[in-house]
């Protein structure tokens, strides 16, 4: 696929195309932005464009190098993913027969990256290492890749794909040229969902919840949305005087960190609706108009308390993105709600 098919990332794509035309690709990039906005696709497209048989600064998608990269079998394009995912795909075997990690571990960096880069290129004009997601690298892995990021072999580019770039070590970030990727426009996401066969109402709600991420929006079917709505309504109904109920909720809803993150993302959208009503916006359309309780809670809290709850959820979401315990993070959030908001 050519660069022209990438939607909503003109700034990043234009910078890469200009570098390709000049023959001046950077040795290490950090593609930073929300999940599901095309970072990984652009990273693979960059590797195709740099090695395409047409050699015109874009990817034709049809030549042997483009097809090999698309299938993940090009010898000069190495994609490093979470150890667990690579093991499942049969592309990596953890040492000592241990259970594969959810991280990108130091063994992967040393054996897949360092050893591979010590060899000569096989057939490509330029070699690529794509770390996706780069924020899955644990601190040991990040430290192990520092020298390679600073001084890779000639005609080699490393691309770190990250949805939580600020969580990477400063020493890693400083060795990369950062390219920001923006959330996609809501109209683009909603249009893609409708084109994929989603009912307009469901497409609109999924677009709101996905916050500019097409990948997230596509994963939100009616069942997933219903489950999240149920969790928010449960949180809204928690009694302020019953700490046991908060703890039980936090334990149940925070058992899986990703689910806790999804809950907090939806709570942010819903609490913004609460803030709108609490601030007197009686006629302003709500993002989650069919989610009960926004008007009632607004009357009870007022704008200052609603804003404090929003800030509490934001802090909780940031903690979860930095691997905080799901139950403890949610419990701390609820204590803040009921003691101060």
Each residue's pLDDT expressed in tens, for the chain with a length of 341 residues: 789 999 889 999 999 999 999 999 999 999 999 888 999 999 999 999 999 999 999 999 999 999 999 999 999 999 999 999 999 999 999 988 889 999 999 999 998 888 889 889 999 999 999 999 999 999 999 999 999 999 899 999 999 999 989 889 999 999 999 999 999 998 999 999 999 998 887 888 888 878 888 988 888 888 877 787 788 888 888 888 888 998 999 999 999 888 898 889 888 888 888 888 888 766 677 776 666 566 677 777 888 888 999 999 999 988 887 778 999 999 999 998 887 65
Continuous segment of H or E residues that includes residue 200: helix 200-210
CATH topology for 3-180 is Rossmann fold (3.40.50)
- Quote the pLDDT of residue 65: 97
HSE, CB side, 13 Å, CA atoms: give it for residue 186.
Answer: 9
**Residue range 279-307, pLDDT digits in tens:** 876 667 777 666 656 667 777 788 888 89
| Cα(215)–Cα(132) distance, integer angstroms | 15
Indicate the helix (H) or strand (E) that contains 74: none
Q: Reduce the DSSP state of residue 42 to 3 states and report it.
A: helix
Edge-to-edge strand ranges of the sheet holding 156-162:
77-80, 127-131, 156-162, 28-32, 177-180
Q: Tell me which residue of 58, 115, 51, 107 sits closest to 77, measured CA to CA.
A: 51
In CATH, what is the architecture of 221-340? Up-down Bundle (1.20)
CA angle, residues 190, 260, 339, in degrees to nearest 5: 115
In this predicted model, what pLDDT tens digit does every residue of 305-339 receive, in sequence order?
Answer: 889 999 999 999 888 877 789 999 999 999 988 87
Cβ proximity of 90 and 106 under 8 Å: no
Q: How far is CA 45 from CA 1, 86, 130, in A?
A: 7, 21, 11
Helix (H, G, I), strand (E, B) or coil at 78: strand
DSSP 176: S
Do 3-180 and 221-340 have matching folds?
A: no
Backbone phi, psi, residue 161, to 5° = -100, 120
Contact call for residues 270 and 301 (beta carbons, < 8 A): no
Nearest by Cα to 149 from 238, 28, 289, 298:
28
Backbone angles phi, psi at 180, to 5 degrees: -80, 140
d(CA 79, CA 217): 25
Sign of the alpha-carbon torsion through 215, 217, 220, 226: positive
CA distance 222 to 220: 7
pTM of the shown model: 0.78
Calpha distance 121→115 (Å, rounded): 12
> How many other CB atoms are there within 10 angstroms of residue 136's CB atom?
23
Evaluate the omega torsion of the peptide bond into residue 133 and state whether it is cis, within 30 degrees of 0.
yes
Which of 183, 164, 135, 137 lies closest to 36, judged by CA?
183
Q: Is 119 helix (H, G, I), strand (E, B) or coil?
A: coil
What pLDDT was estimated at residue 283?
Answer: 67
* Residues 169, 322: Cα–Cα separation, whole Å: 12
Report how far apart, in Å, the C-alpha atoms of 336 and of each of 253, 312, 325 are.
17, 7, 17
> What is residue 181's predicted lDDT score, i.e. its pLDDT?
96
The domain limits of the chain are 3-180, 221-340
CA distance 136 to 154: 26
Residue 182's SS3 state is: coil
């Amino acid at each position: 696929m050519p660069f022209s098919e990438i939607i909503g990332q003109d700034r990043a794509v234009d910078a890469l195309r200009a570098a390709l035309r000049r023959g001046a690709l950077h040795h290490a990039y950090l593609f930073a932005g929300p999940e599901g906005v095309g970072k990984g696709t652009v990273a693979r497209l960059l590797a195709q464009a740099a090695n395409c048989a047409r050699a015109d600064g874009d990817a034709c998608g049809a030549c042997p190098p483009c097809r090999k990269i698309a299938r993940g079998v090009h010898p000069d394009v190495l994609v490093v993913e979470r150890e667990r995912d690579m093991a499942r795909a049969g592309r990596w075997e953890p040492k000592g027969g241990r259970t594969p990690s959810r991280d990108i571990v130091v063994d992967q960096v040393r054996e897949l990256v360092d050893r591979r880069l010590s060899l000569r290129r096989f057939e490509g004009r330029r070699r690529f290492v794509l770390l996706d997601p780069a924020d899955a690298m644990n601190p040991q892995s990040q430290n192990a890749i520092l020298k390679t990021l600073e001084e890779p072999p000639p005609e080699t580019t490393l691309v770190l794909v990250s949805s939580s770039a600020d969580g990477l070590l400063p020493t890693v970030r400083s060795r990369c040229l950062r390219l920001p990727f923006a959330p996609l426009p809501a109209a683009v996401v909603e249009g893609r969902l409708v084109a994929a066969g989603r009912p307009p109402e469901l497409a609109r709600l999924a677009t709101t919840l996905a916050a500019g991420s097409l990948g997230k929006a596509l994963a939100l079917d009616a069942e997933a949305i219903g489950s999240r709505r149920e969790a928010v309504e449960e949180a809204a109904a928690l009694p302020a005087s019953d700490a046991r109920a908060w703890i039980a909720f936090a334990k149940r809803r925070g058992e899986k960190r990703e689910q806790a993150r999804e809950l907090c993302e939806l709570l942010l959208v819903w609490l913004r609706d609460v803030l709108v009503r609490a601030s007197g916006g009686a006629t302003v359309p709500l993002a989650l108009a069919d989610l009960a309780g926004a008007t009632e809670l607004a009357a009870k809290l007022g704008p200052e308390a609603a804003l404090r709850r929003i800030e509490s959820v934001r802090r909780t979401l940031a903690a979860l993105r930095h691997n905080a315990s799901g139950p403890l993070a949610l419990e701390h959030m609820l204590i803040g709600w009921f003691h101060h908001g």
